[in-house]
């Protein structure tokens, strides 16, 4: 039997995990009460994506912020993709930190800020690249700076 036949799929036939998730994005059993998830594939303006991601980060929902930032990454013009990818990776790093995975958190935060660093001279959309890179270089121990300056 084809194992992919048992996978959750969206209307277009793409694999989508429909299991409910907790606040940190961990899958819960089918039928469990989970957190409301941001819809995938939404194209937002950069300003809306940053504001929505910041609100989710402020609410302690880095996994959900990552989903918003990932949508922005996928729909961004080529010259901005690494910026959005870096922001999404930082959010995933925060998710790992909240789940207790310090090693994974540090790796993703460093990878994410390495993707942000090339934009420091002229950050698109007011992204606080310098603040985020400095925060990561300082060991990511204090509160995350705001995404925009």
Q: pLDDT per residue over 61-78, tens digit each? A: 999 999 999 999 999 999
State the residue range of the domain holding 18: 1-35
Mean pLDDT, the chain, as a whole number? 89
Rounded Cα–Cα distance for residues 65 and 55 (Å): 8
Q: In the Cβ-directed half-sphere of 104, how many Cα atoms lie within 13 Å?
A: 11
**19 and 65 co-located in one domain:** no
Q: Answer yes or no: is 146 within a domain.
A: no
Structural domain contains residue 148? no
Instruction: Tell me, yes or no, whether 131 lies in a domain.
Output: yes
Q: Are residues 76 and 51 in the same domain?
A: yes
Do residues 31 and 87 share a domain? no
With respect to residue 127, please indicate whether it lies within any of the assigned structural domains.
yes
Q: What are phi and psi of 82, to 5 degrees?
A: -65, -30
Taking only the tens place, the pLDDT of each residue in 109-123 is 999 999 999 999 999
Indicate whether 97 pLDDT > 70: yes
Count of beta carbons in the 10 Å neighbourhood of residue 123: 17
Mean pLDDT of 85-102: 96
How far is the CA of 53 from the CAs of 38, 66, 149, in angstroms?
A: 10, 7, 14
Q: Are residues 97 and 128 in the same domain?
A: yes
């Amino acid at each position: 039997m084809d194992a992919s036949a048992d996978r959750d799929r969206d209307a277009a036939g793409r694999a989508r995990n429909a299991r409910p998730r907790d606040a940190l994005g961990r899958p819960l059993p089918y039928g469990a009460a989970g957190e409301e998830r941001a819809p995938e594939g939404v194209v937002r303006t950069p300003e809306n994506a940053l504001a929505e991601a910041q609100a989710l980060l402020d609410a302690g929902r880095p996994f959900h912020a990552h989903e918003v930032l990932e949508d922005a990454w996928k729909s961004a013009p080529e010259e901005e993709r690494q910026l959005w990818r870096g922001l999404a990776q930082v959010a995933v790093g925060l998710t790992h930190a909240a789940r207790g995975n310090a090693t994974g958190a540090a790796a993703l935060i460093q990878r994410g800020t390495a993707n942000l660093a090339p934009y420091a001279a002229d950050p698109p959309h007011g992204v606080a690249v310098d603040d985020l890179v400095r925060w990561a270089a300082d060991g990511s121990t204090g509160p995350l700076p705001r995404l925009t300056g």
